[in-house]
A = this chain, B = another copy of it.
Amino acid sequence: LSLSLSLLPGCYEEYSSSSSSTSRAAGMNGNGPSKLVDPLEDPVPGLGTYEDFNTIDWVREKSKDRDRHREITKKSRQSTVALLHSVSDAFSGWLLMLLVGLMSGALAGGIDIAAHWLTDMKDGVCLIGFWFNHEHCCWTSNETTFQERDRCPQWQSWGELITGTSEGAFAYVVNYLMYILWALLFSFLAVILVRAFAPYACGSGIPEIKTILSGFIIRGYLGKWTLIIKTITLVLAVSSGLSLGKEGPLVHVACCCANILCHLFTKYRKNEAKRREVLSAAAAVGVSVAFGAPIGGVLFSLEEVSYYFPLKTLWRSFFAALVAAFTLRSINPFGNSRLVLFYVEFHAPWHLVELAPFILLGIFGGLWGALFIRANIAWCKIRKSTRLGHYPVIEVLVVAALTALVAYPNSYTRMSGAELISELFNDCSLLDSSQLCGYKQVHLADRPAGEGLYTALWQLALALVFKMMITVITFGMKVPSGLFIPSMLAYYNHDSFIFKGWCSPGADCITPGLYAMVGAAACLGGVTRMTVSLVVIMFELTGGLEYIVPLMAATMTSKWVADAFGREGIYEAHIRLNGYPFLEPKEEFDHSSLAVDVMRPRRSDPALAVLTQDGMTVGEVEALVESTHYSGFPVVVSPESQRLVGFVLRRDLLISIDNARKRQEGVVSASTVVFTEHALAQAADAPPPLRLRGIMDLSPFTVTDHTPMDITVDIFRKLGLRQCLVTHNGRLLGIITKKDILKHMAQIANRDPDSILFN
């Protein structure tokens, strides 16, 4: 068990080893055709596919797709049916995007409504029907006025319902207890559902999606079971009051939708590279519905999660993101018909002097980001290495209980994250009914600071400290958890206080909402290291085009400060923690090693295992494959010359030999395996040769032994290679795989090279 534990990543350690639970999910079943045989048919099943926890070969996949496209174009000239097929094929990408947008938008709307309802359920119940949430309950009531729209007799808190009065200590205690009980129930359900049905549904999902987009295969991670369970448990987890957001998980949900919808179209079902283009767009859709920010979503996908993002994908993601945002708007979960989640009404100009506090906010956000990442990673390591990891259900229950216990007395932690943010972002007006300013009149700068202001500030400061601490523990637990909203909560509320004295003569010279917004952006920037996409998301989120510069200054500072403490964002840190084979595209390879230093075999190792193009028998080949664990073998002209002919994948080789033994007459262990175009003349009594040129990659990538590793890493990144052969003066010398590179990079950074687990 200890071996399987150390091998398996993230929050689903216990599951990946049992194949039953993963095979249940439909997942990424890359059942693609082999390019080299016939692009449209599939004579040997499984040829050209990948095993789980392996890296795809982008070049091969894209080439396969181009072959397919060429085939269709050629046929389209022959008949009308084929022409129609060709047209429908060309538009299938757009249709798929439309479907992804619609489905994700609808799901996001459903999640919002359900989470809203369950969150209110913690407080009380609607007497007209328990399926109404608080706001809705009072809408249906006629007795409510506009001013008191959230108070109506139909809605009763648990305390009121049980004790018969809404006043008094007893009612408060009952409310408190019910709050904790509901939180425990929701979180228990969430963790149990995840454990029982879809272990991959836990966590934020963004680290894994980044890894998948970079070409890794995790079967079932984006399957239908993951989708169903993640959707349900996300609602439960958010409603339970745990300090987590729904934004990261929504990206995961959108990617699941895209992956499932891909199965409707052959073009995407059978090609891992094409599917990843769709998934990149789906990531944009996820952010688009999470924040109502279509452009920000596209930039997020481009900047943060995608690996291969061609211009075509840019257009399509934008389209899908818009469709999703409009679907969500039609569902109208926020009760206002805006695309924008936290629409900000204020348009007061900011002053150049204010850049100083904005930059301070940036520094604070950067420090917080660096600290958060360290603390969270340290906590996750503790969870991984100690006995804590064996009791995920208890862990979740304890954290949920603790969160509810501490959160309830403070009204700012009691309300949901989104509510709190919208309260903080909004400027106060006289008509405003929010607690923060409507009744207390505290945040308007031209009013004397009353008692209420100090209470509010004190509560906010407590809320800040508490949210910070609890989020460190919560992120990475075995329930769906996002990070965006909690990070935003780490806003900075003291400035309005400090500046109050300075500003009292003038009216309205400080906009506290703006500070909250900038602070949120700075903290989020420090944690995720997003820049442009974050600024765009923030201004789409709030509709405040005027505040680009403050947001920009804060996020830039935040990123710089956080980078000074460590170059990785939270997602990269989690990818490394889980040992995924992810070649970070942002990080420059800054070492002067050469390809010869990284390639296998090393000087002390046995020679490279190669096949010869016509000198080996089936038995010899099988013995070679059995005795090694390599996933591919170079084919050379002869062992003496070591001149490279091609490259054969282990999986294809085994499947082909297996298939030939079963179906092809006369193939025995003594048959020669031939990779050349024309077989050599053989003795008359020899068994017929097994011709395998069809499965050989005739264009393997090569670099010379003197190629600097920075160039090699660049080639791997840009072309999405799986392996690359190393030659010296035209002779084959060795092989470099993605894993070799990652191990080499870990070694340079003085980390354990064995932390890279898969390839």
A interface, CB within 8 angstroms of B: 59, 62-63, 66-67, 69-70, 73, 294-295, 298, 302-303, 311-312, 314-315, 318-319, 322, 326, 339, 531-532, 535-536, 540, 543, 545, 548-549, 552, 556, 585-586, 588-592, 595, 637, 641-646, 698-700, 702-704, 706-708, 710-711, 714-715, 718-719, 727, 729-732
Contact = CB atoms under 8 A, between A and B. Distances in A.
Contacts of A585: 311
A704 B714 contact: no
A583 B642 CA distance: 35
Nearest to A710: B66
Contacts of A589: 66
A540 B70 CA distance: 40
B552 A319 contact: yes
Contact of A69 (B295, B339, B590, B706): B590
A729 B645 contact: yes
Nearest to A535: B318
A722 to B, nearest CB: 14
B698 A704 contact: yes
Nearest to A642: B730
B62 A714 contact: yes
Nearest to A718: B718
Taken together, the copies of this chain in the complex come to 2
A315 B531 contact: yes
A532 to B, nearest CB: 5
Contacts of A586: 311-312
Contact of A704 (B548, B595, B700, B719): B700
A263 B238 CA distance: 54
19 contacts: A59-B711, A59-B714, A63-B710, A66-B589, A66-B708, A69-B590, A70-B592, A295-B536, A302-B314, A312-B586, A318-B532, A322-B548, A322-B549, A543-B545, A595-B699, A637-B730, A698-B707, A699-B711, A730-B731
The 6 closest A-B pairs by CB, nearest first: A643-B730, A699-B707, A698-B706, A718-B718, A730-B730, A318-B532
A595 B552 CA distance: 47
A711 B588 contact: no
Contacts of A715: 719
Contacts of A63: 708, 710-711
A155 to B, nearest CB: 32
Given A556-B319, A585-B311, A704-B699, A637 B536 contact: no
A63 B709 CA distance: 10
A573 to B, nearest CB: 18
A163 to B, nearest CB: 47
B303 A644 contact: no
Nearest to A531: B315
Contacts of A556: 315, 319
Given A70-B592, A318-B531, A318-B532, A729 B699 contact: no
Contact of A729 (B295, B315, B644, B714): B644
A17 to B, nearest CB: 36
A358 B659 CA distance: 57
A592 to B, nearest CB: 6
Contact of A311 (B303, B549, B592): B303
A481 B692 CA distance: 60
A48 to B, nearest CB: 15
Nearest to A720: B718
Contacts of A536: 295
Nearest to A559: B315
A511 to B, nearest CB: 18
Nearest to A727: B730
Contacts of A531: 314-315, 318
Nearest to A317: B532
Contacts of A69: 588, 590
Contacts of A302: 314
A319 B556 CA distance: 9
A294 B552 CA distance: 12
Given A322-B548, A531-B315, A729-B644, A588 B66 contact: yes
A73 to B, nearest CB: 7
Contacts of A727: 730
A298 B532 contact: yes
